[in-house]
Chains A and B, each alone.
Chain A
Amino acid sequence: MNKYLAKLTEWHKQGFITPQQLQQILDYESAQPSSPSIIRGFIFLGVCVTAMGMISLIAANWMEIPDILKLLCDFLVLSFIAVEAMRYYSHPQPLRYDALLLGFLLLVMASIGLIAQIYHTYGKFYFAILFWSAMTLPIIFSARHRLNTFIWVGLTLGALMCWVVTPDRGFLTRVPQDIVLLGSLMITTLGCVGLGQFLARWECSRIFAEGFKIWAPYYGLLVVLLVDNGFQAKSILSDFYNSPFGSIYLIIAGLTLFGIYTQEKFSDGQKYLLMLMIVVFSLLPLISLSPINLRFTSALCTIVLFMFAALYYGSRDRIDWFNFFIVLIGLRFFMVYLQVIGSLATTGVGLVISGLVLIALTSFWAKNRNQLQLWVKRRLQ
């Protein structure tokens, strides 16, 4: 309330609101029940302390507790959370169900660890996560909050990536490590885009689709940054389409392009923009074949992809991502500028000019970002 009071007083002084309106707002706000966030915070703290105490007790007496009792307790808690979650599924506040679902998901993972500890088994951690993903796949469709699907998709994709890029990856041992890394990242990016679009077609999997949609720009960004600056020998990457990854990628790209083309929720402008972005993205491994300077091609591809991403998010009213990609474009331009003037940048004059360029770019952006976003939205919707 206090944080709004100063603003209200200021608006009253400026004549934006009448004294009656000011009083009405103050009366309304003071009649509201006090924010329960503090109470919730203390309850949460109490739960955490109790849980820590229980964990400490179990840990301190770990050896004395019979294995069967440990397992029994684990399964009882797991079943209890499942029953409670089912009870709250139809509750008007979906957050309760999602909190219980998150607890269930985490406890399933902890149970895998407990069983491994009791029976002294172990394997690669990513196999444990993939086992967890497979078991919890049906129930994740019931999530109503993005956090659960975000965690599930993130962990599953991370485990799959680790499995593919691990050194003893069997049939892929002959493929260069750079191509394995690039291939798995590119397939994951496009897989996220494709599955995000595909699953969003049904209401029951809409929240699940959100999980993929959230991860897509992160993986895409990683690919662009790696190709732009990460890989030492970019010429190796041109073999990408001769590797098994290339064929898989092309199939996924084809399906994703078809999915976007037939997506009714997109305007024509958004469709073509996304499709163009996928085409440029697919050309990234081939940048070393460019007849012009490799550094220039690399920077050009990065800026073009960031620009497409900014335009797409701008047209979808995702201001946060729109701003983020515009800032990245600015930074990449600044890097190009530093590359062009080379060692001159370290001289006094060079530093002054660089600083002024940075200030000018930032000021331009700060003044025009709202108009720019509106313009993008109007053009593409």
Chain B
Amino acid sequence: MTTQFSRPWLILGFIIPILCLTLLTLNHHWQRMHGTTVTLPVKGYDPRNLLAGHYVIYRVDYGMVVSCITPQRAVMCLNHNKDNKWQGALLKEGVDPTLTRCAAFIKGTCNANLFTADIERFYIPERFAAQLDKAVRGDQGQVVLKVSPSGKAVVTDLLIEGRSWRDYVSS
């Protein structure tokens, strides 16, 4: 017979995962509500099967040529260009993005000339996969991000021809 856990310990054991998941959700939600809104064009498409449908995998176009070979942590500094569009500049490793003139910055990884920040995926329902596939392939897609002051970015919407994908598929 194994030792019995005391009631408070047992309750704590079950509460910890629920509390962690709640905090995770609240953190994502807070980021979605706050932070700088950044809209960037996307390229590429890769549909994958998932229980609730598909997701789109794309490459975010930061308006610059990314150059790195080995995997390294990197920071993408974002500013508005002359056309009032977001333009990225990859900061070297060790450069403090808060000390440079960045309207927003995203922390991520640079590998094989590609900057990624865990924002390269967007979940879509299966029945709209073909329609959205066609649109994103035609370079009509954009992602709307919320970037926190600490450099964490979350995707809030996928735009097709400047409209939210929900409006696009319903029109």
A residues near B (Cβ < 8 Å) are 55, 58-59, 62-63, 71, 75, 78-79, 82, 85-86, 89-90, 104, 108, 111-112, 115, 117-123, 131, 135-136, 138-139, 141-142, 144, 167-168, 170, 173, 203-204, 206-207
When chains A and B are docked, how far (Å) is the Cα of A78 from the Cα of B11? 13
Q: Is B16 an interface residue (CB 8 A)?
A: yes
B:1-37 near A, CB below 8 Å? 2-5, 7, 9-18, 20-22, 24-25, 28-29, 32
> Known: A62-B52, A121-B118. Is A203-B21 also a contact (CB below 8 A)?
no
When chains A and B are docked, how far (Å) is the Cα of A117 from the Cα of B22? 15
What is the chain B residue whose CB lies nearest that of A55?
B51
When chains A and B are docked, how far (Å) is the Cα of A203 from the Cα of B5? 11
Which one of B74-82, B119-127, B134-142 contacts A?
A: B119-127
B12 touches A138 (CB 8 A): yes
What is the chain B residue whose CB lies nearest that of A203?
B3
Q: Is B63 an interface residue (CB 8 A)?
A: no
Residues of A within 8 A of B13 (CB): 138-139, 141-142
Q: List 18 A-B contacts (CB under 8 A).
A: A58-B52, A63-B125, A78-B18, A78-B21, A89-B5, A108-B21, A111-B21, A115-B28, A117-B52, A118-B28, A119-B25, A121-B154, A122-B120, A135-B20, A135-B21, A141-B5, A142-B13, A168-B71
What is the chain A residue whose CB lies nearest that of B32?
A119
Minimal beta-carbon separation of A154 from chain B (angstroms): 18
Q: Is B53 an interface residue (CB 8 A)?
A: yes
Q: Is B155 an interface residue (CB 8 A)?
A: yes
B28 touches A121 (CB 8 A): yes
Residues of B within 8 A of A120 (CB): 119, 121-123, 154-156
What is the chain B residue whose CB lies nearest that of A110?
B51
Minimal beta-carbon separation of B150 from chain A (angstroms): 15
Given contacts A75-B21, A121-B119, A142-B5, 9 further A-B pairs with CB under 8 A are A71-B25, A86-B11, A86-B14, A89-B4, A104-B14, A119-B154, A135-B17, A167-B71, A207-B2
For B22, B52, B55, B109, which residue has the most chain A Cβ atoms within 10 angstroms? B52
Residues of A within 8 A of B32 (CB): 119
When chains A and B are docked, how far (Å) is the Cα of A217 from the Cα of B44? 45
A173 touches B71 (CB 8 A): yes
B18 touches A75 (CB 8 A): yes
Residues of B within 8 A of A86 (CB): 7, 10-11, 14
Minimal beta-carbon separation of B20 from chain A (angstroms): 5
When chains A and B are docked, how far (Å) is the Cα of A81 from the Cα of B25? 20
Q: Which of A75, A117, A122, A167 contacts B118 (CB 8 A)?
A: A122
When chains A and B are docked, how far (Å) is the Cα of A44 from the Cα of B135? 45
Q: Is B70 an interface residue (CB 8 A)?
A: yes
Residues of A within 8 A of B5 (CB): 89, 141-142, 204
5 smallest CB-CB distances across A and B, nearest first, come from A168-B71, A139-B13, A82-B14, A120-B155, A119-B28
Q: Which of B14, B22, B121 contacts A139 (CB 8 A)?
A: B14
Minimal beta-carbon separation of A162 from chain B (angstroms): 15
What is the chain A residue whose CB lies nearest that of B5?
A142
What is the chain B residue whose CB lies nearest that of A136?
B17
B28 touches A85 (CB 8 A): no
Q: Is B164 an interface residue (CB 8 A)?
A: no
Minimal beta-carbon separation of B108 from chain A (angstroms): 11
> Known: A59-B52, A138-B13. Is A82-B125 also a contact (CB below 8 A)?
no
A139 touches B17 (CB 8 A): yes
A135 touches B16 (CB 8 A): yes
> Known: A120-B121, A173-B71. Is A206-B2 also a contact (CB below 8 A)?
yes
When chains A and B are docked, how far (Å) is the Cα of A120 from the Cα of B111? 22
When chains A and B are docked, how far (Å) is the Cα of A113 from the Cα of B49? 14
Residues of B within 8 A of A139 (CB): 10, 13-14, 16-17
A75 touches B2 (CB 8 A): no
Residues of A within 8 A of B118 (CB): 121-123
Residues of A within 8 A of B53 (CB): 59, 62-63
When chains A and B are docked, how far (Å) is the Cα of A86 from the Cα of B11? 7
Minimal beta-carbon separation of B165 from chain A (angstroms): 11
